[in-house]
Amino acid sequence: MDSWSAPASALVSLGQNQCANDAQRCRWPDAPTSRLASVTAPTPAPDPAYAPPPDPTYAPPPDPGLIASLRGLDLNGRILFAMRTARMFGYGFLAVVLVLYLVAVGLDPLMVGIVLTMTLIGDTIISLWLTTNADRLGRRRVLVAGAALMVVAGVVFAFTSWVPLLILAGAIGVLSPTGNEVGPFLAVEQAALSQTVHDVRRTATFAWYNLVGYIATASGALGAGLMSQALLNGGMAPVDAYRAIVIGYACIGLAMIAGFWQLSPAVEAPPNDHANDGIRRRFGLHKSKKIVLRLSVLFSIDAFGGGFIPQSLMAYWFHTQYGVEPAVLGAIFFGANLLAAVSSLSAARIASRFGLINTMVFTHLPSNVLLILVPLMPTLPLAVLVLLARYSLSQMDVPTRQSYVMAVVDPDERSAAAGVTGVARTTGAAISPSLSSVMMASAGYAALPFYLAGSLKIVYDLLMYRDFRNVRPPEEQVRHTG
């Protein structure tokens, strides 16, 4: 080592120690921006064989197909499907004999009408309250409560003929005089299913959900007819044979209590931060109040139009116009409902390609034109053919409509949104049959309900497309921007 090395090393060491002790005072100056920068080594070209590692957090969307959506249901989804099947079987099971049973226990036609009317009114009020509070009270609790109300109504109807008690049980309990969906179940189950399936599978899941409901209702009606006929043929009195059906309905409610109790917390609404955001809640809604109100108005128009020609009045029209016997009517509408069930599955595939609103509107429009054409057909075979063509399209808007409502509201509003829009449809459909039944009684106006129903439904379709064609659900927004 030369004579300068030791002093130089000592100075460097001293400077490093001082800078370490006082980093704020001892700062090295920034590198000068001079021509020296131009002699730095160039950035090497990227290796074409190199690929960045995949993002471990990325997960591709699941297969949105019908079979994949059905197989992809988790335990909660399977429980909800099973409860839907049991419930709709029970509704169809009871609806076939309910009026026969009330007459058999001694009620006159006026009292039967009062009991059924109060049942529907009470169901609307109770369902509205339960569904708009389900996300706050807990979806599982509301579903269990609804099943318990089925048991209460079934037990009371089975063991009393006192009209005031029947009215009270019908108004508070859950009974379906028509075989259609009643109670809080539909709205809450739709919200829970939307919580447990991916957005791209929501519509397909609702298509299966509706399909199992159609099949279960038909099976329940068939089962009640066979069971009651077998009991009657065995020598049982009519009132006791029909009471056995009512008791069976209550037993289905008990099974549903046990089933709903198995649901996990995953079906519940997610925690929300809207409690203190200055947005006042009404009917369980906050940010989506306006859109739910608009949808409710439009859905009530559609239901009001459909109420002019429900299936019972349509069957009556075929009977009075062409003399069709009940057995043939049963075959016609069995085929029609089977086509409607299959069409609900087709809706999911069409919606995945063209979008929910387009599927709702452009399958519903031709079905309503076909409805108007039914009374214009000169022969029974042509009228039946047009009717069947109409049913092959008419239900495609059901799963797409349900899916759309779930998509355009916040997750913690889904039960309330489904409940409010459902009550709007129920109310709209309850008004028009009383008007169309009067028209049916006059030969000159018997076809008018078809024209009114088809025209109002077309108005609904056009307004729906005008107002919501640009309001896309999340899964369509991703596809549109991508």
* 309 and 210 within one domain: no
> By mean pLDDT, which of 188-197, 242-251, 332-341, 457-466 is the weakest?
332-341
pTM of the model: 0.73
- The parent domain of residue 204 ranges over 65-269
* 467 and 354 within one domain: yes
Q: For 9-31, what is each residue's pLDDT tens digit?
A: 444 454 545 444 444 444 444 44
Q: Is residue 410 part of a domain?
A: yes
* 225 and 110 within one domain: yes
DSSP string, 97-161: THHHHHHHTT--HHHHHHHHHHHHHHHHHHHHHHHHHHHHH-HHHHHHHHHHHHHHHHHHHHH--
Percent of the chain with pLDDT over 70: 82
Say which amino acid occupies 467.
D
Is residue 479 over pLDDT 80?
no
Is residue 80 over pLDDT 80?
yes
- pLDDT value at residue 27: 45
Q: Is residue 7 part of a domain?
A: no
Q: Is residue 338 part of a domain?
A: yes
Q: Is residue 157 part of a domain?
A: yes
DSSP string, 260-276: HTT--GGGSPPP-S-TT
Q: What is the mean pLDDT of the chain?
A: 82
Percent of the chain with pLDDT over 90: 35
Which of 246, 269, 292 marks a domain boundary? 269
* 302 and 253 within one domain: no
- pLDDT value at residue 281: 57
The CATH number of whichever domain residue 295 belongs to comes to 1.20.1250.20
* Encoded tokens for 113: 């009408």
* 331 and 365 within one domain: yes
Q: For 315-346, what is each residue's pLDDT tens digit?
A: 888 888 998 886 787 788 778 878 888 888 88
Rounded Cα distance, 449 and 306, in Å = 9
Q: Is residue 37 part of a domain?
A: no
Which of 248, 269, 290 marks a domain boundary? 269
How many distinct structural domains can be found in the chain? 2
* 306 and 258 within one domain: no
* 228 and 291 within one domain: no
Which of 240, 269, 298 marks a domain boundary? 269
The residues near 209 (Cβ < 8 Å, ≥ 6 apart) are 80, 81, 84, 189, 190, 193, 399
* 441 and 338 within one domain: yes
* 462 and 409 within one domain: yes
Is residue 34 over pLDDT 60?
no
* 411 and 318 within one domain: yes
